[in-house]
Chains A and B, each alone.
Chain A
């Protein structure tokens, strides 16, 4: 599978504080436009303790939907859209050189209200092919979590990799205690 797409230009919108006492501290918000689908997309990079960003995106027209991460727009141009989302990683690395990144594949919910299993779902299967084609192994260790459809890029600069991976996993489990529901 190849992902040789140029992607689109990212536009930084704002840094939104998130002060609910959890490990989620603030969110960087970006947007971009796809001329092929004629739709705007929003990328949110949630900064957490342990220098971890959780990167997520949705189509702007679904911004008010509680299932915005689960809807499939089915308009195409997925290669450019995903590559644009990956561009957030080098952007944020410029500001946070020790940052790690977590990505979760949201399970699809179709028009009849049926939901895909959260294990090894279709979005995650694409992400785990895409990320190694765009992100090398000099800066990050790559971890796969098929059971929760998640992928972790752990920065090698921050010290012991195994301990940090365990701490990050525990932090996400505590912060997102409805993980099965939101995945």
Chain B
């Protein structure tokens, strides 16, 4: 009887391990979860600088972001 229980336990554990490995393999990647697109090659060409809208950080925005900072590497 004891042998039977031990064998059942071993069989169960083996199946459990296989199941978890299978689950890991089928688990979706971060890109799939977040619905990222597939990598595609982009044709080379000059990108107009005007299409990049940048903005200067104001002193108050900067101060807000580094309010918890203790050390600055560059003043």
User: Known interface pairs A2-B69, A178-B44. Does A145 touch B36 (Cβ–Cβ under 8 Å)?
Assistant: no
User: Known interface pairs A109-B39, A135-B72. Does A174 touch B53 (Cβ–Cβ under 8 Å)?
Assistant: no
Among the stretches B5-13, B14-22, B25-33, the one at the interface with A is: B25-33
User: Quick check: A173 and B52 within 8 Å, CB to CB?
Assistant: yes
Partner of A165, one of B30, B54, B69: B54
Least distance between B70 CB and chain A CB atoms (Å):
5
Chain B residues lying within 8 Å of A145, measured Cβ to Cβ, are 52-54
Among the stretches A17-25, A26-34, A136-144, the one at the interface with B is: A136-144
Partner of B52, one of A3, A138, A169: A169
User: Quick check: A136 and B39 within 8 Å, CB to CB?
Assistant: no
Which range holds the interface residue count of chain B?
35 or more
Docked Cα-Cα span, A150 to B54, in Å, equals 9
Interface of B is mostly: loop
Chain B residues lying within 8 Å of A62, measured Cβ to Cβ, are none
18 contacts between A and B (CB under 8 A): A3-B69, A93-B74, A110-B30, A110-B32, A114-B36, A133-B65, A135-B74, A141-B56, A143-B57, A144-B57, A145-B52, A145-B53, A147-B51, A147-B52, A169-B52, A173-B46, A179-B47, A180-B47
Interface set of B (CB-CB < 8 Å, partner A): 29-32, 34, 36-39, 41-42, 44-49, 51-57, 59, 61-62, 65-66, 68-75
